[in-house]
Structure 1
């Protein structure tokens, strides 16, 4: 009879967000932790093989979307205002996955991020939901640390 420990997968609700100048852990949802690349087809005239080679091409990173319940904290809007006024305010940050005891188990580091889009809450007098704001961050790289 096997008695080895079985490692359970981590749950997605235990996370925190750290960006220069932004409060830690105040976001309810993070999406867009995606890195991908293009392949480049290449073939030389002297190749014996009758198919193309697949070379590594440019890397691409999906925009990260942060969502949180709307509060009086205006730091995201202040950051966006700098960008909208032409100030290249880029920030580095991390999205951190935690275990059940809130110990860090994985960290995605994001470099040179800036707010490309910010969206205020949708108001509906007949709904009973929390007002959610979101912002979309453009960045130049993500890595699992």
Structure 2
């Protein structure tokens, strides 16, 4: 039995490209990015060697770990990320950061929300007189947790 066109059951089977996404900081959509890394969560593994038990080691779930987000884009006249980084020098300005994957029609497919995020690194473009590569910048953002919707 096939699902009616456009239903949730049908959309669940659709493949979505990883090249349509929106980054928002504090609810404000921030320009186009060529790449976002760090949509990852990993659980520590605690191993417990019980005395007298030689057949196996107990494996227990530990804390969750979240790597930093790494954002890359071409340099533009929009400087919100650089401003956020330098404004956070004295005291980190914590904000919610969301990355929303969209389909080709612009509909939301999945959203990753990062809690208590703040910038920890900014890398400016590599400038070379003889080069013809586009000027790019990179921002690294730490956060305290991830939820997926």
Bin of the TM-score, shorter chain as denominator length: 0.7 to 0.9
Q: What residue is the counterpart of 1:58 in the other structure?
A: 63
- Please, which runs of 5 or more residues in structure 2 have no aligned partner? 4-9
* Counterparts of 2:106 and 2:133, CA distance in 1: 27
- Whether 1:12 and 2:11 are equivalent positions in the alignment is no
Q: What residue is the counterpart of 1:128 in the other structure?
A: 132
Q: What residue is the counterpart of 1:79 in the other structure?
A: 84
| Partner SS state of residue 63, structure 2 | strand
* Counterparts of 1:75 and 1:21, CA distance in 2: 13
Equivalenced residue count is: 142
* Counterparts of 1:142 and 1:88, CA distance in 2: 19
Q: What residue is the counterpart of 1:114 in the other structure?
A: 118
TM-score (structure 1 length as normaliser): 0.85
1:136–1:143 distance in 2 versus 1, CA, 3 Å: same
* Counterparts of 1:133 and 1:61, CA distance in 2: 22
- Specify which of 73, 94, 99 is matched with residue 95 of structure 1: 99
Q: What is the RMSD of the two structures over their aligned residues, measured on CA atoms? A: 2.3
| Partner SS state of residue 137, structure 2 | strand
- Whether 1:143 and 2:147 are equivalent positions in the alignment is yes
Tell whether the 8 Å contact from 1:15 to 1:25 is kept in structure 2 after alignment: no
* Counterparts of 2:27 and 2:16, CA distance in 1: 28
* Counterparts of 2:27 and 2:110, CA distance in 1: 22
Regions of 4+ moved over 6 Å: 2-6
Q: What residue is the counterpart of 1:35 in the other structure?
A: 41
- CA shift at 1:66, angstroms? 0.7
